[in-house]
Every structure is written in structure tokens, then in C-alpha cells.
């Protein structure tokens, strides 16, 4: 089962910031938090990941609490095209040395609806 | 931006037939994955592949499934004798292994319909 919990759905007004929360209270010290999204039936799209510091890229910002038990994905100016299911994932560590993050366990995610 | 490409986008096959789904991972990536998503359900991990062998596989990945990297660019998933319950979207992903914790990048999937 997924190691994270997320609200099943959220609404956001177009142009406003979308703040998507995620709880990962059992996360270990060396496990990263990854965010992906899935628009309709397309393949999951990588958004951002982090360990303990806040991260920002061209798509979003990731805020991780100091105890690392929760995080928030922020889409600063949501558009209609950001309507998707957002997944917060803490991967199972890879079994063998090689640097991979290991396989991803997808939960049900948060269905974000951006409304005009 | 480089991307993972999958072909075909939609495959229709009779039950009991063999099917091969094809993927071209991002060119400098060395870890490859297959996932599937039955309609209306979660995305599920099937198998990961590194250095020409399976790294990990899930319970779903039984003897009917196999993976192969037949050349330097393609990564394939074969289902030997398809069942109705194999109908799903199948997603290929790849990741860079030079640095740890690099994200997996997904293709847009192949919709497999078993009749």
C-alpha cells in the first residue's frame, strides 16, 4: 500500500495558488517525496521531488515540514490545464545498488479541479 | 525535451493471443519500468529492468509476462497468452541512474483491449 495519504479531491479557482497536502508520517530519513500528476488517461507526469529542503522548479514548489511527516505541493497560478489527479509518492527503496528510486506505489491521489 | 515513446497507442487482441508492447526510453537512461492501469483503478507497478535483467517484479508479473531490451533503444513487454483481465493501459517509464533518486519519466501508454 501507498505510504502517503492525500485528500481525494480539491477545487481551485483559475489563477489562484493550488496547495495540495500530503501526509507521509512513516517516511524514513533517506526517503524522498515525489509528486506526479496524471491528466485524463495520459501517462503520469513527473512534477518535483525533495528530501528535506523546500524545492522549486518551473512547474511547482514543494514545501516539506521540518519533521518530514507531511508536505505541500504548490501550483502558484493554477490554470485549467492543471486539472488532473496529483499523486504524492514515497517510493519503495531499490533492492539493488544502482541509484534508482525503486518502483512507485501509486495511491488514489488528489483530483484537482481548476475552475474558471 | 526528451521523452519516452510507446507504440502502438491502442492494441486490440483476441484472448489467448500473444501481444508485444513497445517502448523507446529516454536515450541516456538505464533503468526501465512497466506499469499498468486498469480502467478506473490505480497505476500498478509491474517490473523494473536494469543491466539487461529484471531488478524487481510485482505479483502481477507472472509467467505470462516477459520483458526484453532487444537492441540499444527498444524495451518491450510481452504477454504470452492474453486474458480478458489484461485489458488496461500499459505505461513504460525510464530513469537516469547516474545520480541517485532521479525521477522516472513515463510514456503516454498503450491501451490494450482484449476481446
CB A33 within 8 A of CB A22: yes
**A77 vs chain B: nearest CA distance in angstroms?**
23
CA distance B59 to B10: 25
Return the percentage of chain A with pLDDT > 90, whole number. Answer: 73
Q: What is the pLDDT of residue B16?
A: 97
Which residues of chain B have a CB within 8 Å of the CB of A85? none
pLDDT at A83 over 60: yes
Q: What is the pLDDT of residue B51?
A: 86
Please calculate the CA angle A75-A78-A83 and round it to the nearest 5 degrees: 100
**How confident is residue A97, by pLDDT bands cut at 50, 70 and 90?**
very low
Contact A103 B99 (CB under 8 A): no
Q: Which of B103, B92, B87, B88 is nearest to B68 (CA)?
A: B92
- Give the model confidence (pLDDT) of A31-54 as tens digits: 889 999 999 879 999 999 999 989
Which residues of chain A have a CB within 8 Å of the CB of B106? 43-46
pLDDT in tens, chain B (115 residues): 779 999 999 999 999 999 999 999 999 888 999 999 999 999 999 999 988 899 889 999 999 999 999 887 899 999 999 999 999 999 999 998 655 678 999 999 999 999 9
Q: What is the grid cell recorded at A9? A: 479531491
CA distance A71 to B35: 25
Please name the member of B50, B58, B109 whose beta carbon is closest to the beta carbon of A43.
B109
Which residues of chain B have a CB within 8 Å of the CB of A49? 101, 103
Amino acid at each position: 500500500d501507498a505510504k502517503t495519504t492525500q485528500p481525494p479531491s480539491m477545487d481551485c479557482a483559475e489563477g489562484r495558488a493550488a496547495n495540495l497536502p500530503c501526509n507521509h508520517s512513516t517516511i524514513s530519513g533517506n526517503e524522498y517525496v515525489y509528486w506526479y500528476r496524471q491528466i485524463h488517461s495520459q501517462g503520469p507526469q513527473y512534477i518535483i521531488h525533495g528530501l528535506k529542503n523546500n524545492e522549486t522548479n518551473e512547474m511547482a514548489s514543494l514545501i516539506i515540514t521540518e519533521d518530514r511527516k507531511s508536505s505541500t505541493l504548490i501550483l502558484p497560478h493554477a490554470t485549467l490545464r492543471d486539472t488532473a489527479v496529483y499523486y504524492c509518492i514515497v517510493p519503495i527503496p531499490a533492492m539493488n545498488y544502482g541509484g534508482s528510486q525503486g518502483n512507485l506505489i501509486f495511491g488514489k491521489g488528489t483530483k484537482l479541479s481548476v475552475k474558471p | 525535451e526528451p521523452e519516452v515513446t510507446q507504440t502502438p497507442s491502442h492494441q486490440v487482441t483476441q484472448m489467448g493471443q500473444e501481444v508485444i508492447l513497445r517502448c523507446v526510453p529516454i536515450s541516456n537512461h538505464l533503468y526501465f519500468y512497466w506499469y499498468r492501469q486498469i480502467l478506473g483503478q490505480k497505476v500498478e507497478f509491474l517490473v523494473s529492468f536494469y543491466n539487461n535483467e529484471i531488478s524487481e517484479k510485482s505479483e502481477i508479473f507472472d509467467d505470462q509476462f516477459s520483458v526484453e531490451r532487444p537492441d540499444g533503444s527498444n524495451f518491450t513487454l510481452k504477454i504470452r497468452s492474453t486474458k480478458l483481465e489484461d485489458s488496461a493501459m500499459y505505461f513504460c517509464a525510464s530513469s537516469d541512474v547516474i545520480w541517485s533518486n532521479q525521477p522516472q519519466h513515463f510514456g503516454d501508454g498503450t491501451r490494450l483491449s482484449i476481446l
